[in-house]
Amino acid sequence: MEIQSTTRSPEPVRVPRRFFKRFTWKQWALLLIVGIVTAVLLRPLWQNPERGVSQLFPTDQTYHYESLRALGYATTGGADVNEILHAIGEIEAGDPESWYVGWSALADRKMAEADRYQHDQIGQGNALLSAANYYRTAEFMLYANDSRKLETYRQSIAAFYRGLDALHVPYERMEIPYAGNDLDGLYFPGDSAQHGDTLILMINGYDSIKEETYFTLGQEALARGFSFMSYDGPGQGSAIREHGIPFTPNWGDVNRAVVDAVTAVHPEIKEIILVGFSMGSILATKAAAADARISMLVQYNIMYDFSLTARESMPASFAERVFTDEPRPAWVSQMLGYSMRFSSEQDWAIRHGSWVMGIDDYAEVLNQYRFYEISQDAPEVTAPVLLLAGENDHFVNATLITTTEDSFKQAASITSITYDAQSGADEHCQVGAMNLWTADFFEWVYANLN
């Protein structure tokens, strides 16, 4: 086995009055300390002066990251730089309503531009794809019970497919039978004269939608002649928004259904390169371990255990109350709700998790994270593996790349790349550096094609 390494305005949480009578002043003091420590440890990395990273939102890592995520798609037809910079200048950090207003206004502006282009289909298509990206970003911070969330998601989807049609990009929308439901898939045929018989299959993560992956990797794959596909699995995209299907850790079954469906329609597919996007790296590893049809596996940003970030940010005694199979006192979730007031990242992550996991209790949401890990799956993977990491990833500590490498005990080969700040690809999933990471990805793919 070869290993190569390269460095390169939420609603207030209401606590019942009887809650305050349960504890002595000493217990209250301990709870206060736990809350403060948790909030401090969960602070965004913008407070680290050694990062050396320019911030779009200097006081809020979450708002910076999600803005950079949208901005990065300027290289693949999903954004224009300066219009985003102007839009985010009007957004108040940490304010979900301000975020929605700013991004949806920009999306509306792009839709109006698209309507003006009656003769230039390329200009119209580009405006529509940008609008799709901006609507996706606007929807991102809305809470699940906000009626605008589904409406904005649907606006993004409609703009996206109108954009593809205007640009004459061939695609197929697929319905994939799974566990008595249909999952939505999106397939782009490659060039049969190049690598059309090789499918790059991308698995979304905690918060993506299948249409976003066209900007992330799909367009670059098509430019090189590969076929490309993504889908909304349980807890993702249309599966949770339109059908209410929550996440499941049993992703081997999910992805097998997808591979069965696409190869039945496209028997010409000879190789499948499975790419995990963020948390999708865990799901992709589970899928590759369960299906010998996977020719290569890519963790597009390493992910070993989804619970680690939350677990390591808490005092050990508090984490023991959260990550357990035993019944926990009600104050644990109430304390999490209290600490969410101090971190937009924590507030969004837990509320979003409650929705996509289908769980109301905040502590149980975090507890479910521990079932999304690869310690039992990675040793079963025999395909070549590519691991990507960023040294300033605020979700995943880049030093976990060694642990992740060591877990793939039977992989045909392991190639690891850790991006430093100077590369511009040091953030989670290399956002803002699309050209660099995709070039490294395809260089590795060409070297491993049969």
Residue 313: the pLDDT is 84
**Which of 369, 395, 421 represents a domain boundary (last residue)?**
369
Does the pLDDT value for residue 276 go beyond 70?
yes
- Over range 314-334, report the average pLDDT: 93
**φ, ψ dihedrals at 245, nearest 5°:** -90, 115
Q: Which residue in 260, 298, 309, 327 sits closest to 429, CA to CA?
A: 298
Q: Convert the pLDDT of each residue in 15-53 to its tens digit.
A: 444 444 444 555 545 555 555 545 444 444 333 434 444
Is residue 67, in this structure, part of any structural domain at all? no
DSSP track, 352-415: HHHHHHT---HHHHHHHGGGSB-TTTGGG--S-EEEEEETT-SSS-TTHHHHHHHH-TT-SEEE
Q: Among 369, 399, 414, which residue terminates a domain?
A: 369
Domain final residue pick, 317, 349, 369: 369
- DSSP 8-state assignment for residue 210: G
Its domain, for residue 34, covers 27-48+308-369
Considering the domain architecture, whether residues 316 and 401 belong to the same structural domain is answered as no
Q: Stretch 422-447: mean pLDDT, rounded?
A: 97
What is the per-residue pLDDT across 303-317, written as a single tens digit (0 to 9) for each? 999 999 889 888 999
Residue at 436 is within a domain: yes
Same domain? 327 vs 385: no
On the question of pLDDT at 11 being above 80, the answer is no
- Same domain flag for 362 and 263: no
225 shares a domain with 323: no
Structure confidence at residue 343 as a pLDDT band (50, 70, 90) = confident
Structural domain includes residue 157: no
Is residue 227 within 8 A of residue 266, CB to CB? The reply is yes
User: Is position 220 within any domain?
Assistant: yes
Query: Is 42 within 8 Å of 313 (Cβ atoms)?
Result: yes
Stretch 238-252: mean pLDDT: 98
pLDDT reading at 230 higher than 70: yes
- Per-residue model confidence as pLDDT tens digits over 366-403: 999 999 999 999 999 999 999 999 999 999 999 999 99
Domain presence at residue 151: no
Q: Could you tell me which residues come within 8 angstroms of residue 375 by beta carbon, excluding any fewer than 6 positions away?
A: 304, 305, 407
DSSP 92: P
In terms of domains, do 363 and 389 share one? no
Render pLDDT for 171-228 as a digit per residue (tens, 0 to 9).
999 999 999 999 999 999 999 999 999 999 999 999 999 999 999 999 999 999 999 9
For residue 113, what are its two tokens?
Answer: 């531009």
